[in-house]
Amino acid sequence: MEKLFQKISFTSASLVLALLLGIFVTLFLQAKPAIDEFGFNFIVDKRWNQEVPLTQTGNLTQDTTTVVQTPEAAEDDDMIADEDDMILDEDDEDETATKTVYGGLVPILGTIFSTLIALAFALPIAMGIAVFLAEMASKNVAKYVGIAIELLAAIPSIIFGMWGLYYFAPIISDIFGGFQVSLLTAGLVLGVMILPFMAAITRDSMNTTPDVLKESAYALGATKFEVVKDVIFPFSKVGIIGSIILALGRALGETMAVAFLIGAVYSIPEKITDPTISIPVAMALNFGEASGLGENALFYLGLILFILSFAFIAFAKFYFLKRSRV
């Protein structure tokens, strides 16, 4: 029985790694034609689905020098002129030939900036809610507010998108100016969406702090703020960082609510109140009609999003958690 339990546990853990590897391989194989075509320039190119000429012509100059020609020279010039006409005809064909260019810079920046806005908005509020529920609120208040937080996390993202578009976006536009659908509006609504995850997990992590540690600190004369800062936060740091990582993952991959609010414009925003687009929104809006190289470019975007998520989470795991053990 013991060996069977070990095998089931090992299989379950290995399944996660197999799924992760399978997703990466699938994305890479589907994105490979776009990677071969655009290379790493795809990451810094802000054009998407634009037709560009295959070659570019330089400035033409004219020689105005007068030359006295002999009959033999005139015959040679006629032959040269015919060759020039053939070359110009080929150049005209090259000028009319175009290719479609795809670049991922705009959706990459939109994804990163909207996620950073969401974290900057949600993190302090979530920590405040968690501290209030864990240390300050009475049992009844903590119970009902805790249920409300968990219900907020259960609301589908499309509801947040509709609410944000019709009620939240006009308020943001009146306060900060600019467009109603913008990077700022999408980031703030995204912050509202990830806030319940961070608050609930942080509250549960804080509740695991042993009472003896807190009572010892109070006995030494510490205030409630000092107990929260010096006892509860250090003890529950791993759980708090875990909540931030989970919220970060949802913010990076959120699609429907952001599609309502970010504007879906392939343009780098000059201001935080300008519209732009994110990777999940670009994939959701274009995948149904994409084919050929355009479809491969969307898989390339998906691969970049996968690597971005992995990089952020790996950084948090190996940097912050390592510091917490020092």
- Boundaries of every domain in the chain: 105-323
Q: What is the DSSP letter of 276?
A: B
CB 292 within 8 A of CB 97: no
Residue 15's pLDDT band, with cuts at 50, 70 and 90, is very high
To the question of pTM greater than 0.85 for the whole model, the response is no
CB 136 within 8 A of CB 145: no
**Cα 308 from chain centroid?**
7
Three-state SS at 62: coil
The reported pLDDT for the residue numbered 190 is 92
The reported pLDDT for the residue numbered 95 is 56
Give yes or no for residue 199 having a pLDDT over 80: yes
Residue 66's pLDDT band, with cuts at 50, 70 and 90, is very low
The reported pLDDT for the residue numbered 192 is 92
Q: What is the pLDDT of residues 31-42, one digit of tens each?
A: 999 999 888 889
Angle between helix 293-315 and helix 105-131 axes, rounded to 10 deg: 30
Q: Given the DSSP bridges, would you call strands 48-53 and 98-102 parallel, antiparallel or unpaired? A: antiparallel
What is the chain's alpha carbon radius of gyration, rounded to the nearest angstrom?
Answer: 29
Can you tell me the mean pLDDT for 95-110? 85
> Strand pairing partners for 102?
48
C-alpha span between 262 and 278 (Å, rounded): 8
The reported pLDDT for the residue numbered 26 is 93
When the pLDDT of each residue in the chain is averaged and rounded to a whole number, the result is: 84
Beta strands in the chain (DSSP E): 48-53, 98-102
Element (H, E) at 34: helix 2-38
Can you tell me the mean pLDDT for 154-169? 90
The reported pLDDT for the residue numbered 90 is 56
Q: What is the DSSP letter of 180?
A: S
The reported pLDDT for the residue numbered 257 is 87
105-323 CATH fold:
MetI-like fold (1.10.3720)
Helices (H) then strands (E): counts for the chain? 16, 2
Can you tell me the mean pLDDT for 285-295? 87
- Reduce the secondary structure of 201-232 to three states and give it as a string: HHHHHHHCCCHHHHHHHHHCCCCHHHHHHHHH
Residue 18's pLDDT band, with cuts at 50, 70 and 90, is very high
The reported pLDDT for the residue numbered 80 is 61
Pair of tokens at residue 160: 């947040």
- Per the document, the length of the chain is 326
Instruction: Say which residue, 87 or 245, is predicted with more confidence.
Output: 245
Give yes or no for residue 75 having a pLDDT over 70: no
